[in-house]
Homo-oligomer: A and B are copies of this chain.
């Protein structure tokens, strides 16, 4: 008992696990959809964290190379699960929005918080300009590829269902992304510089790696848990949209990315506060790269298997927000220096984007 209490003290997030049984109760008792939505969202946060932690632990045993592969693949597992469930339910707007929302969240919210809090604690912070810049350039190029189908679609003029040409181009983009992802893994495997997987936070944060068997069990359990909670969450989206008047798009672009990544985000910020800014920037950029090169094409292919037409067409607002985000990341990285005012600016952009996405009539 005392050990459990101490564990929760050290890992306050574990406390959120208590919402898990409440969600089951809520489902059975048919509580208000809004309550169910909120509770299941909260329950996903620690579960996503456990997926991450067990991946880290596994990486401990597999060695850095295979560990890199694990990290690059499971790094956004929670979000992938939520969006796959959403595809099955036909919530394609939400799924697409979550792709851009994740990248924006990483580049503006996480980087902003890291630079703000890290800068307030440590003053001017510097980071490895070269490594950061290299990764930011890869991200810029990947995002440009990601956006080309949208350009074609806007040029042709939107139609529902999407024009075949746009779908062909989306599939082409997904294919190229997958190839680049595999090349990225090979690149990571061969060099110590790893655009897709940040150097393990192990080095930075004290992690007591779980025993191999425990790590595997926790990975399986938390994955199942996220899958179940995702069902509940996604099932509540429609009633919530109707009740609150916020759009499916807004839930996808703001909520889903936050829910699925809180744990990872916290690591990036903690690391920044400990003045390890290089790693903090790396986490944000690597996670964005994973979304563009791995999550996005996987979702396209899975939707194809499920008979849904998920085309990589984002609205003009998302396009410009994404381009702004990656440009800022590139410019900030090229700089190699950060301070709290820069962090405040990034948060300012994110805040205004949230307001704009909220006001956007979809």
Contacts and interface: CB of A to CB of B under 8 A. Distances in A.
Interface stretch (A200-208, A232-240, A343-351): A343-351
Contact of A340 (B140, B187, B335, B355): B187
Chain A, interface SS category: helix
Nearest to A133: B335
24 contacts: A130-B337, A133-B331, A133-B335, A134-B335, A136-B331, A137-B342, A140-B327, A140-B328, A141-B342, A141-B349, A145-B348, A145-B349, A149-B356, A152-B356, A154-B316, A155-B315, A155-B316, A169-B355, A172-B352, A179-B348, A180-B344, A180-B348, A187-B341, A331-B334
A359 B167 CA distance: 11
B351 A176 contact: yes
A347 B134 CA distance: 17
A253 to B, nearest CB: 14
A331 B137 contact: yes
A38 interface: no
- Interface band, chain A: 35 or more
A237 to B, nearest CB: 23
Interface of A: 124, 130, 133-134, 136-138, 140-142, 144-145, 148-149, 151-152, 154-156, 165, 168-169, 172-173, 176-177, 179-180, 183-184, 187, 191, 195, 315-317, 320, 324, 327-328, 330-332, 334-335, 337, 339-342, 344-346, 348-349, 351-353, 355-356, 359-361
